[in-house]
Structure 1
Amino acid sequence: MKAFWDWLGRAPLVDEVDRRNARVIQLLLLFLAVTIPATLVVALVLAWPQLRAQPLQPGLVISLSMSLLIGVSAAIGFVRVRRGALRGGVQLLLGAMLGSLLVNAAIHGFQRQLPDQLAQMLALILAGLVLGRRALWMTLVGLLLTLCVGVVRDSALLPADARSLFNVVPVLFSYLLVALLLDRTTQALRESLRESNARGQRLQQEMQERERAQTQLIHAQKREITERMASGLAHDFNNILAVMSGFAATRHDDDTGSDGERIAQLEDSLAEVEASAERGMTIVRRLLRFSRREAEHVERFDAAAAVEALQPMLRQLLEARIVLRCTLPAAPAPIRFERSQFDLMLLNLASNSRDAIAERGHFDIDVSTTEQGVVIEIADDGHGMPAEVAAQAFEPFYSTKPADRGTGLGLAVVRDLVVRAGGRIQVHSTQGQGTRFRIVLPHAKTAPA
């Protein structure tokens, strides 16, 4: 039954309302397509002796033919719904039902049809729920025409009997009441659905804009950190170039006694020049990879190994006056994070510590693994923060720095990155004694993908 129900829901329909009504409409069409012909066959088999004993009445033949027409129309309508034309299938069924009611009213009159009003109500419900307001009122007009034809037929059959007119007003009132209720209900449902879809589209657009803004913000933070590392990079490259220049100058030394010794010394110098150039290129590659703007790619890696690999960039950012101390575990500390964003998080915290340390100081990173997850503690011995400042540290655009030295977005970005990775971050600071950030990230096996 579940597979059959799922199959009914796979009709290729575009309209949201049609998709919601598709399963019930298909069940109704299938029910009519099967039960009406089956009922006619059973009735003919049971009544066959009586039918053979007397000639067939034309009215009976026409009534049975109209019922069979409804069953065939339901079968064709079911096929049309399966091909994506729900409204066309329902329209075909409604046409057959109204035609059958009109023919039966013309043959038998209104009084004979009065006990069974199911077909009339079903026609109104199908028109209102599936086809909309216009089809609903057109169906009501068709039913009124049928009613008029039936009343005229009753007057012709029983000209002296006015009892058939007594039920006209209640039936008219019931048709009109059902049509009004369906009109208001379906209109309210469709308006509510349209508003819901519009809200969903607006929410999706807002989410996309938020993601774009978040990406731009992260890229801007990377650029800011890169600019702050410029002085450290210049100092490192000056040292590298000095080493390369010193080894290159050894070609002027003529103290060695033989050509072989001079060649060996030159090869050693060139090897050192190559090693220094490789160190410089490593710094450049790491910096370019960090500052590059690319799609987020969450990966599994060892947090301790990532901190160890990030130490050269941290030293460039912290300057020579601040001592970097890292305490890393011997066992791996696997997490799931976007690697460049993990680097950005630590570099942001290091940048804040550099500004908080007036002269000389220490910047400590401690990585450990607990039952709660991978714990990364970042501490400095700078001037610290008052309690009211620490309480607002993660708020966007909140900063105690001068306008030309910070945007107030660094810690807000850090918090967002930690929360998106399924972790949490806390800050503890005492004025005059430094600041400590505690970040807890889920283990890789339990972290969200």
Structure 2
Amino acid sequence: MTIPGLRAVREWLAKAPASDPVDRLNAPFMQVLLIAVGLAIVLVRLYAAAVEPQLALLAMEDLRQALDLGTDVVIAVSAWVGVVLIRRGRFRLGIRQFLAIVLLSAAAAYAATGYSHSPPDPTPVLLMAVGGIVLGRRTLWNIYASLMGVFALGQLADNLWLGERRPLGWDAYHTLPMLMLAYLLVALILDQTIAALRNTLAQSIQRGEALELANRRIAQEIEERERTRNQLIHSQKMDAVGRAASGVAHDFGNVLNVVLGYATQREQLADLGTPALINALEGVELAALRGLAISRKLLNFSRQDVDGTQVFDAARALAELEPMLRQLLGRYIQLECDACAQPLPVLLDRGQFELMVLNIAANARDAMPDGGRFSVALAPGASPACLELILADTGTGMSADVQAKVFEPFYTTKPFGRGTGLGLSVVASLVHAAGGTIEVVSQPDQGTRFRIQLPLHHDEPSAPQLAPAALQASPANR
């Protein structure tokens, strides 16, 4: 459960600017620590003055009490100055000045009271821990040396200027070696811990930078792969167009023969009168519109679109693809095309859908050199959320080993120069990218059957789909 306002405070603390990642992590805690120190000193002094006012008057008369009050005020001011410096992006300067003020205040206190009469104080260990963890190992050892000087100053005060309380001779310094050794052990433990933490953090930062670089490289490779994939799809389209070119040329030849036939009969038609001429011109127009529909289909299919994803009726698209399939398969292969009567909307690039069918049809043609039958059937799938496209041929079929590799890129059983091994690989890639599945069933000399399932999209088609007949009826295409 989040305390109201705590998240805002955390965000405010985290906004302290710091270039070093370690400083950026330490900045929120150090701000809290300095604010706590600054508030605690002020509140304790105000409480003491409110409860026992005579102590405040005594502090004005007694030198040691006045020094204690003065060091508290200086430390509190230094804590708030440290917060301001951290908020302004001077993190290390803010911490250094605070640690320096605390050390100077400790030196003044030990000089005034001596070491032997000072109460136990955990501040030296805290200074070493904060300095080492926040500012590094060099600061840790600088604080250690400074503390040893402060302790020596306190014991010197015990021996030289504290009047009746001072011990005799060098007895004042008998605890200094043990004190130095104890703090040396603390400093060594902190030093090794800090070194391990810093090394771990440096390794983590290096791994993060290496990971970021690897991510950028992967992103570039994915972009390059997508660009290569689009180029491959376009090349497959062009290959399919090339295979259908002979049939298209035959159709255009028929169109031109019709036009020429009417043209050669122009004199006889002129003698027969206007109705005969009108009928002849209508025949010419129909022949020209058929040629226009053929050329438009080829141009639209071979166009290189980076992303032509749209909602379209797969049944209608298959029906309109039938003439191109007939040209691709040739006169010796019987085509059976069973497009579903009901709409089957899919979210896909229509050119890629047509490419799937044409690539499988091209493979079927190559598998039936002596002729055969190729059937295409489109219907709702077993699940109401998908359609099922069945493409089957009566060709040479495939062995189990070939079936296992049939969708691998560059795998082909055709002679060198007859195939690239990319057709079925592209089909599988397009099907999977559309969220569908593809299966193949085949046996040697018993033909091959492909089963493709694609998810249906039940929204309205995203753009009007004009069939050749619609194109013929459009005045803009006349």
Task: Give TM class, smaller chain.
Answer: 0.7 to 0.9
- Give 1:212 shift: 1.9
**Which has the larger displacement, 102-111 or 399-408?**
102-111
Q: Secondary structure at the match of 1:379?
A: strand
Match of 1:300 in 2: 311
- Give 1:386 shift: 0.9
Q: Secondary structure at the match of 1:180?
A: helix
- 2:138 counterpart of 1:138: yes
Match of 1:4 in 2: 8
Structure 1 length-normalised TM: 0.83
User: Which stretches of structure 1, 4 residues or more, deviate above 4 A after TM superposition?
Assistant: 8-15, 110-114
Q: Secondary structure at the match of 2:395?
A: coil
Structure 1 Cα separation of the partners of residues 427 and 79 of structure 2: 67
Change (3 A) 1:150 1:73: same
Match of 1:236 in 2: 248
- Give 1:67 shift: 3.0
Structure 1 Cα separation of the partners of residues 243 and 212 of structure 2: 48
Counterpart code for 1:68 = V
Counterpart code for 1:27 = P
Match of 2:104 in 1: 103
1:59-116: per-residue Cα shift (whole Å, max 9, x none)?
A: 4313331232123312431x23xxxx4xx32x13321232123213321347767423
Structure 2 Cα separation of the partners of residues 346 and 228 of structure 1: 10
1:340-391: per-residue Cα shift (whole Å, max 9, x none)?
A: 3333222222221111112222222222323262222221111100112112
Contact 1:67–1:100, Cα closer than 8 Å, also in 2: no
Counterpart code for 2:127 = A
Contact 1:140–1:179, Cα closer than 8 Å, also in 2: yes
Q: Secondary structure at the match of 1:402?
A: coil
Q: Secondary structure at the match of 1:229?
A: helix
Counterpart code for 1:308 = A
Contact 1:325–1:364, Cα closer than 8 Å, also in 2: yes
- Give 1:429 shift: 0.5
Gaps of 5+ in 2: 160-170, 460-478
**1:415-434, aligned counterparts within 5 Å?**
415-434=428-447
Structure 2 Cα separation of the partners of residues 12 and 38 of structure 1: 20
Q: CA RMSD in A?
A: 3.1
Contact 1:97–1:119, Cα closer than 8 Å, also in 2: no
**1:308-387, aligned counterparts within 5 Å?**
308-369=319-380, 370-371=382-383, 373-387=386-400
2:452 to 428, 439, 444: 439
Change (3 A) 1:297 1:150: farther
Contact 1:105–1:113, Cα closer than 8 Å, also in 2: no
2:127 to 119, 134, 137: 119
Counterpart code for 1:281 = S
Contact 1:222–1:344, Cα closer than 8 Å, also in 2: no
2:302 to 284, 288, 298: 288
- 2:182 counterpart of 1:170: yes
Contact 2:240–2:358, Cα closer than 8 Å, also in 1: no
1:216-235: per-residue Cα shift (whole Å, max 9, x none)?
A: 24523542452353253233
Q: Secondary structure at the match of 1:62?
A: helix
Structure 2 length-normalised TM: 0.78
Match of 1:157 in 2: 157
Match of 1:65 in 2: 74
1:190 to 196, 202, 209: 202
Match of 1:46 in 2: 47
1:179-234: per-residue Cα shift (whole Å, max 9, x none)?
A: 22222222123213322431342244135324423532452354245235325323
Counterpart code for 1:120 = M
Contact 1:382–1:433, Cα closer than 8 Å, also in 2: yes
Q: Percent identity?
A: 24
Counterpart code for 1:415 = A
Structure 2 Cα separation of the partners of residues 238 and 304 of structure 1: 27
Structure 2 Cα separation of the partners of residues 283 and 229 of structure 1: 10
Change (3 A) 1:439 1:141: same
Q: Secondary structure at the match of 2:414?
A: coil
Contact 1:69–1:96, Cα closer than 8 Å, also in 2: yes
- 2:275 counterpart of 1:268: no
Counterpart code for 2:184 = L
1:253-312: per-residue Cα shift (whole Å, max 9, x none)?
A: 2234465336524542452354134224313322332xx1x4335433333233233333
Match of 2:162 in 1: none
Q: Secondary structure at the match of 1:299?
A: strand
Say which one has the larger Rg: 2
Structure 1 Cα separation of the partners of residues 46 and 370 of structure 2: 106
Counterpart code for 2:154 = D
1:394-424: per-residue Cα shift (whole Å, max 9, x none)?
A: 2222221112112222222222222233222
Structure 1 Cα separation of the partners of residues 38 and 200 of structure 2: 37
Q: Secondary structure at the match of 1:368?
A: strand
Contact 1:154–1:164, Cα closer than 8 Å, also in 2: no
**Which has the larger displacement, 397-406 or 214-223?**
214-223
How many residue pairs get matched?
424
Match of 1:216 in 2: 228
Q: Secondary structure at the match of 2:326?
A: helix
- Give 1:14 shift: 9.6
Contact 2:59–2:69, Cα closer than 8 Å, also in 1: no
